[in-house]
Structure 1
Amino acid sequence: MPDAFTLTSIPLATGVTLDVATAGDPAHPPMILLHGFPESHRTWRHVIPQLARDHFVIAPDQRGFARSSKPEGIEAYKPAHLVADLLALADHFGLTTFTLVGHDWGGAIAWMAALHNPARITRLVIVNAPHPFIFQKTLFDDMAQRDASQYITAFRNPDFEAHIARIGLPAFFESSFLRHTDFEKIADEKPIYLDQWGQPGAMTAMLNWYRASAIIVPAMDETPTRPAFLDGTFPPMPQPVLVVWGLGDAALLPSQLEGLERYVPSLTLVKVDAGHFVPWENPDAVVAAIRGWLPR
């Protein structure tokens, strides 16, 4: 079945060019979808056509992924640059306001972008992406979450690309995805992802998202100095937020939902039957949650 969206290469004012999937009538309310690691707009392939019935849907391959621009150096992947890409993309389409949806790393950028730009991002949808303050706090206080997040340290290792080269991209596909999802649900996508990851510089660029992040991941045998800000306050999210959470997530544990309402005053939480890659595994549940939450 052909994809129900158009993929276009769009140069942005931030100096990068992104491949961007679009679908729906541009006159309809706009919605931007941000994918996570190690994915692309393909994350949303079953979600886009359903949302596009009454929304103008925009789903970029973010910088570093697939065939989008891959600037050199870790600095180029700091969250501020990724948020700037998002806003520049909205500017390109002339969007003054929009609903933002993010999964995994796309959700991390969505949390940050929405917090600082409530005049533009009027509603926020998060799909299995931890609130930044809660995530950092649990990496110090919840040993199970710390253990589940040790892969971040591995991804930050400058020798990790050499490890992938040794085992091959197909083996990395199996280790990165198959431990977290049902292969039957993504088997048809394997050649597409292997092609995207095999683009020159793609693997380093994708891993640089982790290397550029300020998140602290203590080792399991470490008793680290606790940052003072973890016992302080964190600004509340200013807009309505829908959190869709796959309960089978082995990378992000239930501690990510504990106390979330303290930081998200207008919170709607929908728990669904899925693992971490919810938009792949249960796209209908994601769409139903969004449709049930958006104002008529």
Structure 2
Amino acid sequence: MGTRITVIEQLGVETAEGVFDAIAAGPADGRPVLFLHGFPEAAVQWEHQVAVLGGQGYRAVAFDQRGYSPGVRPDHHREYGMDSLVGDVLAVADALGWSCFDLVGHDWGAAVAWCAAHEHPGRLRTLTAVSTPHPRAFADAVESDEDQHLRSRYMTEWRSTSTEQRMLADDAAALRRMFEWQVPPSKVDEYVRRLSEPGALTAALNWYRAGRPGKGIGRVTVPTLYVWSTEDVAFGSTAAFGTAEWVSGPYRFEMLEDVSHWVPEQVPEVLTALIAEHLGT
């Protein structure tokens, strides 16, 4: 596919759960690619990838997930479990008229993508997971590897009801520090603005309060690209290298040296090229 200039569109995707906000690019009849963002971000973290793939003729869509879209922001943390999150992916795809699509996720979005690939392989053409390892490899690493256990303590700490106040204090200083000065300041400002809206940060943290997938996820059969960066503060090498054991379909592992957790925005061109190559094969 050649690349041409494309315009990013703003969409409202109507589902039974409510309206999900989204960005999109590319021809309506292009091969569909769906992007899932992580915490504490939004669909706009994928602006570069959506624009480039849209220009290559794909129909690229990234949506603000449950809790991040004001139109789908349930009150109780139990409504943020993995079944609901995976259900949202399928509901958005159905609303877009996609019976089969490529799925790309980063951070929490990658955790959802792994589960969607395991539970609904017939709906996915390919999977690309960025940063987050296969949930089973991650769970095993937390139990067996002291380094990963220490890296993951924040997941328990963030379930506290005082987390919102700590993260938003002093112009959201703690929230801003998470990005390690690797994300453009304008994007950080946008994420802080969104999560400072009433109820927004609580909804995002409810993903942690609802728990994480782990032992129940089996091997993934769809063609998979897993991208991990050596300076990722959340996920260490044990889980990253262990992910290969949990993919039985065609598998490609890419390790990015000297790159932080924020891969899509720190090295957008590198990641977009990897995704495009994976889709092409």
Aligned to 2:164: 161
TM-score, L = length of structure 1: 0.87
1:145-184 matches, within 5 Å, as 145-165=148-168, 167-178=169-180, 181-182=181-182
1:277 aligned residue (240, 247, 262) = 262
Change (3 A) 1:150 1:234: closer
Counterpart residue type for residue 254 of structure 1: S
1:66-215 matches, within 5 Å, as 67-165=70-168, 167-178=169-180, 181-182=181-182, 185-214=183-212
Q: CA deviation at 1:256?
A: 1.6
Q: Deviations over 1:180-199 (max 9, x none)?
A: x43xx411223211211112
Q: Deviations over 1:172-215 (max 9, x none)?
A: 2323222xx43xx4112232112111122001000000010145
Change (3 A) 1:50 1:214: closer
* Alignment gaps of 5+ in structure 1: 217-228
Q: Which stretch of structure 1 is more off in the superposition, 63-72 or 272-281?
A: 63-72
Aligned to 1:224: none
Q: Deviations over 1:202-258 (max 9, x none)?
A: 010000000101458xxxxxxxxxxxx6xxx96321111011122221211111222
1:258 to 2:241 alignment: yes
Change (3 A) 1:123 1:117: same
Q: Runs of 4 or more off by more than 6 Å in structure 1? A: none
Q: CA deviation at 1:169?
A: 4.2
Looking at structure 1, the residues matched to 217 and 201 of structure 2 have their Cα atoms a distance apart, in angstroms, of 33
Looking at structure 1, the residues matched to 80 and 244 of structure 2 have their Cα atoms a distance apart, in angstroms, of 30
Q: CA deviation at 1:16?
A: 2.5
| 8 Å CA contact 1:66, 1:196 repeated in 2 | no
SS in 1 for 2:99: coil
Counterpart residue type for residue 262 of structure 1: E
Q: Which stretch of structure 1 is more off in the superposition, 155-164 or 82-91?
A: 155-164
| 8 Å CA contact 1:16, 1:63 repeated in 2 | no
* Cα RMSD after superposing both structures: 1.9
| 8 Å CA contact 1:107, 1:127 repeated in 2 | yes
Q: CA deviation at 1:124?
A: 0.3
Aligned to 2:3: none
Q: CA deviation at 1:60?
A: 0.2
1:241 to 2:242 alignment: no
Looking at structure 1, the residues matched to 65 and 125 of structure 2 have their Cα atoms a distance apart, in angstroms, of 21
Looking at structure 1, the residues matched to 36 and 26 of structure 2 have their Cα atoms a distance apart, in angstroms, of 17
Aligned to 1:221: none
| 8 Å CA contact 2:140, 2:239 repeated in 1 | no
Q: Deviations over 1:63-89 (max 9, x none)?
A: 111544211001110010011111010
Identity of aligned residues (%): 32
| 8 Å CA contact 1:128, 1:276 repeated in 2 | yes
Q: CA deviation at 1:115?
A: 0.6
Looking at structure 2, the residues matched to 235 and 172 of structure 1 have their Cα atoms a distance apart, in angstroms, of 35
SS in 1 for 2:21: strand
Counterpart residue type for residue 198 of structure 1: S
Q: CA deviation at 1:293?
A: 2.1
Counterpart residue type for residue 62 of structure 1: Q
| 8 Å CA contact 2:219, 2:247 repeated in 1 | yes
Looking at structure 1, the residues matched to 39 and 83 of structure 2 have their Cα atoms a distance apart, in angstroms, of 17
